[in-house]
Amino acid sequence: MNSLDLPHVRNAHGAVQLPGSKSISNRILLLAALAEGTTLIEDLLASDDTERMLEALIKLGISITPLDPHTYRIVGGKGAFPITQADLFLGNAGTAFRPLTAVLSLLQGHYRLSGVARMHERPIADLVDALRQLGADITYLGEPGFPPLEIKPIHSSNTDRNSVTVRGDVSSQFLTGLLMALPLSKKASVIDVAGTLISQPYIELTLAQMRRFGVKVERNGWQQFVIPAQQVYRSPGRIMVEGDASSASYFLAAGAIGHGPVRVQGVGRDSAQGDIQFATALEKMGANISMGENWIEASSPVNGYEKKCLRGIDLDCNHIPDAAMTLAVVALFAEGATTLRNIASWRLKETDRLTAMAHELRKLGATIEEGHDYLRIAPPSDGLLPHADIDTYDDHRMAMCFSLASFGAPLRINDPDCVAKTFPDYFKEFSRIVFP
């Protein structure tokens, strides 16, 4: 395994053009593949996750023409895939695996879906149970409740309406998959959510992309979603992918810790992405934040010419589950402890992020309290411990988050190439904006 040594840095300033949003990229790829018409997608994220989705769609018979690394022309399949039997390998891409499971389960094909070992540890039973309510024929090929899966043609129903209940307190991707798939049936559909829906902004993001392709969903609070009958996905023609708000968090945090200003370009105040609210969390910690239509800028708190320290906060992070990881490292540079709550979903991601984050923060000298769904971080009183070896658990966000610890001490990041999942050039961009 390779590693990357990061020197101790103290300052950050500059501007970063963000890569396209992973969440938007994979949603748009799938919707374009299902739509009537041809879609030109611009500013698509080039990453492992989008590669897995592109490979799967091509294997399913969709015509995809790359025009450059970030621009693709996709000829939609009009609500179906030309290839009705295929084995699909989806790596560790949850944004590909869960929606594809839902879509393929409602079609008349025979498919096998698998991924890396970690994907086979990530639960999918709640989605499978919901799809079986609709007549889907899904078999677990390994441990029950987890991938890999075998999908056979759906059992046809004589009812003129779909009615399904899905749990909302494990992963919002299950509801996203159902929302994207059910219009293919042409029937009126009602989805009831059992329990408290987590990561609600990601559902807003799903609904926004569906609207771009002509399908509207009526939402009754966060407990019920109604999809009117006879809706069809239609290509908008040309569509641009917004910059990734989760990726923005690392650079905004750098500006908040390292004087700044640091500006991220490609996402702004009107973004549909929930992680845009990371900027508000930084503001609560004392950082200076400003926003435009397509940019956000962060700098350290100041009082005249005197730099002031950030302050610890107590925050419910249900709305920013990915960007909350960045706050855990920012907490090392705050006065007082920081408590991040409502983050049980961390345990079901690329790794058990709650345990992984707690373990690596302790290597830097922090005092950590880890609960089932919260993390409390008290920074070391005498500064970060130098030359820590930070393990990343094949998790891109672990690698990117802990780069920020270099503002306190030199450290080593193990397996830095895992950032290819969403941001292959991350460390190159990070090195451009940080200084001794």
Domains of the chain, residue spans: 3-19+244-435, 22-227
Residue with token string 């991220």: 264
Predicted pLDDT of residue 308? 56
Amino acid at 340: L
Q: How many CB atoms lie within 10 A of CB 393?
A: 22
Active-site residue identified among 322, 391, 395, 415: 322
Nearest-angstrom CA–CA distance, 38 and 74:
6
Tokens of 275: 């992680």
- pLDDT of 332-370, one tens digit each? 999 999 999 999 999 989 899 999 999 999 999 999 999
Q: Residue 334 corresponds to which amino acid?
A: A
Q: Is 391 an active-site residue?
A: no
User: Coil, helix or strand for 46?
Assistant: coil
And the tokens for 232?
């069809």
| Other residues' Cβ atoms within 10 Å of the Cβ of residue 306 | 7
Strand partners, 164: 191
What gap in Å lies between CA 378 and CA 328, rounded to an integer?
A: 10
- The letter for the amino acid at 22 is K
Q: 376 and 327 in contact (C-beta within 8 Å)? A: no
Q: Which residues, given as ranges, of the chain have pLDDT below 50?
A: 304-306
Structure tokens at 155: 């059992």
Confirm if 69 and 92 have CB atoms less than 8 A apart: no
Sheet strands side by side (includes 11-17)? 288-291, 295-299, 259-265, 11-17, 434-435
Q: 3-19+244-435 and 22-227 share one CATH topology?
A: yes
* Pick from 190, 168, 170, 171: nearest CA to 179: 190
Which helix H or strand E contains 354, and what residues bound it? helix 353-363
- What CATH number belongs to 22-227? 3.65.10.10
Distance between CA 315 and CA 333 in Å, rounded?
16
Q: How far apart, in whole angstroms, are the C-alpha atoms of residue 176 and residue 8?
A: 41
Give me the residues paired with residue 71 across strands: 68
Task: Report the alpha-carbon angle 88-93-96, nearest 5.
Answer: 60
Looking at CATH, the fold of the domain delimited by 3-19+244-435 is given as: UDP-n-acetylglucosamine1-carboxyvinyl-transferase; Chain (3.65.10)
Q: What is the 3-state secondary structure (H, E, C) of 233-276?
A: CECCCEEECCECHHHHHHHHHHHHHCEEEEEEECCCCCCCCHHH
Query: According to the model, what pLDDT value does residue 136 have?
Result: 97
Q: What is the pLDDT of residue 309?
A: 86
Give me the residue label for tokens 């999918």: 124
Tokens of 334: 């705050």
Q: What's 171-221 look like in SS3? A: CHHHHHHHHHHHHHHCCEEEEEEECCCCCHHHHHHHHHHHHHCCCCCEEEC
The pLDDT tens digits for 381-404 are 999 999 999 999 999 999 999 999
| pLDDT at res. 238 | 98
Report residue 190 as tokens.
């009602």
- DSSP-derived secondary structure for 79-145: SS-S--EEEEE-TT-HHHHHHHHHHHHTSS-EEEEE--TTGGGS--HHHHHHHHHTT-EEEESSSTT
Encode burial over 4-42: b for 16+ CB neighbours within 10 A, e otherwise: bebeebeebbbebebbbbbbbbbbbbbbbbbbeeebbbe
This prediction has a pTM of 0.91
| CA 163, 166, 171, 174 torsion-angle sign | negative
- Angle formed at CA 262 by CA 261 and CA 263, multiple of 5 degrees: 115
